[in-house]
Every structure is written in structure tokens, then in C-alpha cells.
Amino acid sequence: MKKEIRFYLALAPDLEPIDADASQLQQVLMNLFLNAADAMPGGGSITVKSGTVDHDTIKPGLYKPKPGPYVLLSIRDTGIGMDEKTRERIFEPFFTTKEMGRGTGLGLASVYGIVKGHQGFIEVDSAIHGGTTFRVYMPVSEYPISQTTAPASETVLRGDGTILLIDDEEGILEIGKFMLEQMGYETLTSRTGEEALACYESHRDRIKLVLLDMIMPGMNGGKIYDRIKLINPGAKVLLISGYSLEGEAREILRRGCNGFIQKPFKIKELSRKIREITGPQTAPPTS
């Protein structure tokens, strides 16, 4: 069943700078978005808000924040929500509400660790059938931040054309589609091998690249790859996996697959991999 997730943004235009590792904050956002998408099996909305607040906004009793201003990032979904028992455990390593084999349970624990490592705080409000809101507080930097031009390695490379994204996790499909469309690509998605092959057969003339998850139920990534190459020997395929480049993934590369990228990845890293495989584009880059 196809679901639709709508994004609503209410971002403050002039936020104060914070001292933070950009790649780690991207990981925080990715995990919170995936968590929200998983909580909405029938679709829904995600609202992202930002602003600057004082330390006394943070819930008393839970934390003892140092006095001063904080940048607040709020992510609210309209999903199934959590009961109090679940809410109290969600930041524990390996705790997961997913069925066996559908995730490690490290996503929110990683979020908590990153935020805490930046001297920040995270709160969660949730109720059964009432959605969930995560609020991340990061202390405003005490030092002036100068504007610099991002190096080429930190630039999102835009492109055009159609990409087929194949993954059995609905949350990955939603976020992956969002990332690819931000780069300028039209994106088709499939959750099963059979669905992916039917989609590729129907749209082979306009699909310039296939992003294929290695671990799929039923027909696995290797079988899907071989079937796609039977349909079109010139098909370009980029493997994606949460595991390292060993075993079957390496064997598929030996059979002619065009590349491999390990999850979780940043949008800039993915854009570079796509550019390496598909070649130069006419669309300009964006930071």
C-alpha cells in the first residue's frame, strides 16, 4: 500500500549559530524522520519547527541545562504514538518496537548520544493515537561564526532524470525519495523484488539509475540485480546496505554492478556517488 507523508516547515530565518558536527546532526535528523515515517504506516504529516528559546523552556527535573539561549528543533508526526512505558525506554540501545529483523534499535539511542555529546538535550511527548513530538535543544555558540564557502566535497551535486529506489522499509523509501527529489531527480520506489522488476520493465527507457538495497525479503538484492541486467544489460545499479562491502555485495560488484554506498549516508555523499555513476549533469550544484 502506497502511503503519503507531507512535510510542513516552520523554520526561524535568523537562528543563532551552534557548535556542532554537521554530519552528526544530519544523522540525528535522518533517524528522527525515519522514526516518524515508521510511526505512520498509513501516511500522515511531519512538521518541523525551529527557533531560539531560553534554558528555562527545557523541562525542569529531567535536565539541568546551563543558563543561556538554546536553538530548538521540533519534529512532530501524526503517527500511532507511544504509551508511557515505551516512551521511557526509546533511547535505550537495542530497544525497538519493530518486528524481528526490521532494524537494530540503535537509531534513537544514537540520536540521544549525539545530542548529549553536543551538550544538548532531547525531550519527547507522545500519546497513543496522538502522534509524537521530539524536541532537540542545542546551546547557542559562545563564539562568532564566520561565513565560509563549502568545499566541493560538502556540496550537493544536482542532476535530472529518473531513479528507481528499491528498499523494503517504507521509512527508507520516503526519506530516500525526499533526498533524491531535493537533488533534482524524479524518483520511483518499490518495496519488493517483484514490484521493482515490474516497475523497471515498464520504465526502463527513462530510468537512468537503480538504487538497490542488498537485504530484501523474498527475492534478495543479488537476484533482483541479475534480473534487472537480463531486462537491460546496460542498466546502472548502485547497491545500498547497512552492512560493509563484503560477501554477496562484493560479488555483485564483480559481476558488473556500478557502485556501493553504506547506510546511513549523507545526501552529499549520495549525490557524489550518483554523479560518479551517471556522469556530468547540466544542473548547477547547490550547497
How confident is the model at residue 238, as a pLDDT?
Answer: 97
How confident is the model at residue 159, as a pLDDT?
Answer: 93
pTM: 0.59
How confident is the model at residue 102, as a pLDDT?
Answer: 36
Condensed to tens digits (0 to 9), the pLDDT of residues 51-81 reads 999 988 887 656 678 889 999 999 999 999 9
What are the structural domains, with CATH classification, of the chain? 5-139 (3.30.565.10), 152-277 (3.40.50.2300)
Whole-angstrom CA distances from 173 to 145, 178, 205, 213 are 36, 8, 22, 10
What average pLDDT score do residues 170-176 get? Answer: 77
